[in-house]
Amino acid sequence: MTNRITIESVVDLLAHAKAMETEALERYLDLAEQMEVHHNPEVAALFRKMARVEGLHVEKILEKAGDKTLPHIPPWEYQWLESESAEAITVEDAHYLMTPHHALTLALRAERRAFDFYSRVVATAAPGEVLELARELMEEEGEHVGLIEQWLAKVPEPDEDWAEDPDPPLLQE
């Protein structure tokens, strides 16, 4: 895995952005459903709002792309951007046991990843259209990070046994 970033054209940037933002949109819809299952309409509503916001990014990206064909970016080509360790929870791991705190932690991780991605493009791009678009998206993702952080501070930390297996391999206390 390399940390080298090779965004050299608007089409490159748009393709990466589209892949990431589409994933974010889907993740938020998924998280919203999970929070509805948890009877946490407040956090569900936040995720629905985030899904709309990321959906606007997808629209913006498609608009900028116009009739240019964007190359397909498979997930493994942008997932190296993951800035945190693999031990962090995933939607698949946590699933129905997930608390709002976990859900928001996941969201924060995704927003930071998007922010890091655009900020690396901003740091390396020459003046021009790529730089301008990357900066615009970076600023918006920075706002999302702040929003999720505020929400995270409002929800209680999960109990230690939140993911307790009903048939655990170790003796319980």
Binds Zn ion (CB under 5 A): choice among 48, 102, 113, 144: 144
Task: Name the closest residue to Zn ion (Cβ).
Answer: 144
CA 94/CA 16 separation, integer angstroms = 27
Angle, in degrees to the nearest 10, between helices 129-154 and 10-37:
20
Identify the burial level of 133 via C-beta atoms within 10 angstroms of its C-beta, where 0-12 means exposed, 13-18 middle and 19 or more buried: buried
Q: State in angstroms the smallest separation of the CB of 15 from Zn ion.
A: 17
Work out whether 141 is an interface residue with Zn ion (CB under 5 A).
yes
Q: State in angstroms the smallest separation of the CB of 112 from Zn ion.
A: 10
Compare residues 12 and 140 and give the one whose CB is closer to Zn ion: 140
Binding mask 98-127 for Zn ion (x = CB under 5 A): -------------x----------------
Q: State in angstroms the smallest separation of the CB of 162 from Zn ion.
A: 26
Work out whether 18 is an interface residue with Zn ion (CB under 5 A).
no
Q: State in angstroms the smallest separation of the CB of 28 from Zn ion.
A: 9
Residue type, 41: P
Site residues, Zn ion (CB under 5 A): 111, 141, 144
